[in-house]
Each structure stands twice: as C-alpha cells, then as structure tokens.
Structure 1
C-alpha cells in the first residue's frame, strides 16, 4: 500500500481534537478504541507524580518490537492525539482488511505506543495550577514566575523537564542549561531518572527489546537521528526515508544531551529518533491537527517498516 494514502478514511474517526486535548480526552478515546477493537492491548507502565496512569498500547503480534511515545513535554500535548489517531488507522486498516500490507506489517512487528508520558503536565499547560489543587498552587506559580498562564510549560508537575532526565551525559546537559531548580522547562532534576514518568519510560525500554524508538515532539518538521556518533550505520538511511515519506528534514544534531533518544542510542546502539512534528509556536493549535497528521502518518508507517 502507498503510505501516502494511509491516513485516508471513509468514516468519522474516534480520535479528534476540539479545543485542546487533556488526560480525560485521552482516557475516553482510548476506551472507545478498546471497545471497537477488543484485541487492542493496554497496560499501565507507571504513574505520574499525581498518580495518573501512564498507559502503553500494543498493536500487532510480530517478533520485532518498535516503540513510539508522545507528550513528553506538557505543551506539546497535540502529539498524544496524533499517535492515537495513528493507532486507530492501523487498527482500522488491519481489522477491516482494507490493506493486506498493513496486516502483514503487524505480523512482522509489534508496536508499543505510550501516547502521553506527561499526563499531569498536559493538563497543567492547558488548565493552569487549579488542576493540581491548593497544595500545589503556590509552588507552581512560583516556578512559573508568578504567572497564571501555563501554556508555555514543558515540564512535569514538579518542574522537571522529562526530556533532560535520561542518563546520557546528564551532567553536561545540566551545566549547559544552567537551570538550578524547578521551572517551566530546562530543569534536569536533582539526578537522572528522578521523576516517575521518566522512570516508567526507561523501565519499559529496559524490559522490552526494542529494535528502534521514536519520540514525538513539536515543532519544526525535523527528524533528529544521531547521538555523539554512537548511532548504528543504518540510522541515517532510515532517517532519510522518514524525511522522504513526510517532507520533513533529517538533521544531524549536536549540542544536546540527556534526551530519551540520546539515552536509547547510547545504551543500546540502535536507531533512535526525535521527530518534531508541525511548525509554528508551541502549543500548536488544534486547527493544525489534520494537516500535521497527513504528513506525519506516512513517516510513522515508514518507521514501523524499518
């Protein structure tokens, strides 16, 4: 099947975005997907600071295991419905036999998706400190420079940037950032993997033998594929194919450490990617969801093919 046609569908999708996308939306739409596709597997891989489940979905039954995650950064919440819509389209094509190619692909690989790594942060970025209750309000306002507007917030509820949390030259990144305490972004935390959300993702990755991983962020229409020359030789070639499928640009990045894909590449010496979807200023508006997805879906499909 031509991957450019993958996102086309005749019916109304379950996964849609209206005036934002919160943890409750994610849970409700996940339940609808599980009712429609009873073989869709879900398991909790951990809990956030506020006790919310961090859910992982498994699609396919192939021997190769690949991973995607989203909403690591709070105000990049649009990445959650993007991944969930992709899940829905995979299931629709496979279960309705609209595409033998998709069904075959899911016999070759199993996809493990964590659509919302940072559920507390996602709601904080959209609803402000009120969502966390009185016990958190004064701290959150102080960490946000006294502002009630949290739309620029990237961190988790404790003011730790989850994509600066991984043990891949963590000390170097902390020194580069020069952020010494909780903040809306760029605080690496007191030590690597101090936050339950980062711990959950690391433990999943340590437990499951992933061939390659992809962390979905926004924005810039770029694909980062390398880390300190420790990536395997095939990583760049796949990045070029992802770029060709989407119109995004494959970029060899430097001057960045402690991210999830950095740690994966360093520890496992396998391909890891950070994809910056869409373009504009975070948070990207819901009105861009459909256009972003049209370009992104072929990229994600190509990633599964490997």
Structure 2
C-alpha cells in the first residue's frame, strides 16, 4: 500500500490530484428497496448524471464523495461509467447506512462484527460486488471502495449501531480507509465522536456529516473540539426569509477550526439536480461560497474548504491494524 493516495472508483490517485472536492454527495442511487420507499431518491440515469458532473467539471470541480454504502443503492459499474463520461473522480463507499434504508430481516442484523468488518475490508482491498450483495452470488469488480460509512438516528446510539461502529473502525484501522458518518440533523454527533475516540479511530480521517443542521455554534464547537472533521451541506436548504445557519457557522468557526470543516451538497433527491429538471444543481457551492467568504473577509479559507481539508481527510493513512477495547 502506498503511503499517500486517495481511492477513486477508477483507481488510486496521488492526493495532489484530488482538486476541488465536494465532501458529501449522492451520485448513484439504483432502483431498489430505498427508492421503492423514497422514489425521490432515484438517481440511476447515467446520461443525466454524467451531464451534471460534466458541468461541475467545466467550472473547476474535480472530485465528489459518493455516500451510498453497501446494499443501499450502489451500482459500481454505473459509477465507473459516470466518472469516465464526465472526468470527475468519484470516491465510492463501503459500510452500512441508517436502518430505515434496509428491510427488517436484512443481513446487517445477522452478521457478526467480524463478518461485517471482513465485508468492508473486501470492498476496500479486493473490489465491490457487481450486485452490491443483493443476491446469492458475489462477483467482485476491480473497482474498490475509498471510504467507510455508518449512520445513527435521532435516538441514542443502539447496541446494533455499536456493532457497526466497531466493525467500521476495525476496517478503518486495518486498511487506512477514511470514515464518513450520517447524523440526523447533527443529533448524536458528539456521541459519535466520543465513541470513535474510545475505539481508537484516526480522527483526522473521520468526518461527521450534516452537523450544520444542528444550527447551534456551541454544539458544533463541542463536536469540533473532539478532533473529528465535520461536513456541512445545508447552505441551500434554509428558507430564504430566515437565517442561513450554515453560513453563520462558517463565519464563526472557520477562523477557529480551519482544518476541520468540509462542504458538500448531499443532493440525494433528484429534484435537486438540474439535469433532472430541478434546482439548485451541483454547481451551487462553487457559484455562491466564494462570494460569501469574500464578503466576510474569509476568502483565504476557500482553499481549506474545497482543497486542503478534503485532500487530507479522504487520503488513506498508514494503518496499524488494531482496535482497542
């Protein structure tokens, strides 16, 4: 394993090649259990997705982090096709999403911690299953996962979720792959961070998503003080007639935590995609954030948000292959 690289669906790249990066996206969500319940999440039209990413590439975008993990809508061959069509580098995850995105009898509940960890490690080191673990056969492709995802909900972290945490950290330490998490509106973010600390994760390569939806500056500081990274993605979601809490957090926290904040769009709904006839489209952050930063005298942090922080966060680290009790 090379010391410094990040892993795209088309292969490993030097960190300097990451370029302008969106830290949390949904690029492919294939038709299945998730979209049967949430049809607004269907993102499987290669031509439309390639068009949106091509436009992103044209204005300077180079890398996107997809965040749909194992058996929750991944289609690794479509991810490959979109990346080839657009020129945009796509980091594809392994891991497990929130319980609501799986049936009640899903294998995630039956597998042991060691079995889950082995599955994640295989996705990272060998290749992602062409069928995304949806059938009795596993046919691994040469396209490997570049991060590990987990998720918690509104309520305190459950025993089952603790099993997922341990399996994820096991795989993280064994492979050096970064970790990305889902929080529900920032809830349980502090608890997530403290559990990662307890399990011995490398917090420089752990990012907690959606924490800006918690709104409060003091709460976000509490999360950041643990040493984890955070990802903000609600700049376009706040009502126009009220405060934009994401921008408020950037204004207050960037000078204090310049190396720990990343940005994304989290455009899981097809109605957000211009190529699907929606808005605001993937280019929104590039089109709006630089002017906002300049208006607050924070323009020097543009490099941190879109280049330096993702480059460090999403690079593999030299793993130690151990997990603490």
On whether the aligned pair clears a TM of 0.5, the verdict is no
TM bin (shorter chain): 0.3 to 0.5
TM-score for the superposition, normalised by structure 1: 0.33
